[in-house]
Amino acid sequence: MPGFISNYQRMITIAGYDIAAAIANELDDTDREKLLTAISEQDPDIAERILERMFVFDHLADIDDRSMQRLITKLNLQELVTALHGTGANLQEKFFTNMSKHQASELSQELKDLPPQPKSRIEQARKAILTLTKQLAQQGEIQLNNADDYIQ
């Protein structure tokens, strides 16, 4: 029986990290950062385990090209422009290389011409895209590689 109890406690601990990651994924960037910083100050190991279980907008750079192409066909491109505002070149390039040259050129120009956006609007656009991504993954329309672990 001691093995059963030990395994049960381990399952509860793992589920706790998953729940914490799910909660953190629902927060806006500022609140998520505050939460993870506070946890990290108390116990860096716990913060790292939570981070490992999270799925955030930047993880879209890691999905395979076929899945990215499928995702792009489902996206509102104006929302994508807003969501990509302020992201790194790696993520932007992932989108550009999986679009037609014409579409990528237009998106790139719109990004350059986009005026400053409220952080809340950017976060809202990113959250909408992540929600769509998770739905498509749950429906089996796209694969998220290792990120499948984040989709519950």
Q: What is the pLDDT of residues 109-147, one digit of tens each?
A: 999 999 999 999 998 999 899 989 989 988 999 988 654
Which CATH number is 36's domain given? 1.20.5.2020
8 and 68 assigned to the same domain: no
Which CATH number is 106's domain given? 1.10.220.30
SS3 of the chain: the string is: CHHHHHHHHHHHHHHHHHHHHHHHHHCCHHHHHHHHHHHHHHCHHHHHHHHHCCCCHHHHHHCCHHHHHHHHHHCCHHHHHHHHCCCCHHHHHHHHCCCCHHHHHHHHHHHHHCCCCCHHHHHHHHHHHHHHHHHHHHCCCCCCHHHHHHCC
Q: What is the pLDDT of residues 60-103, one digit of tens each?
A: 999 999 999 999 999 999 999 999 999 999 999 999 999 999 99
How confident is the model at residue 47, as a pLDDT? 85
Q: Is the pTM of this model over 0.85?
A: no
61 and 97 assigned to the same domain: yes
Q: Give the domain extent around 150.
A: 56-152
76 and 123 assigned to the same domain: yes
88 and 112 assigned to the same domain: yes
Among 34, 54, 74, identify where a domain stops. 54
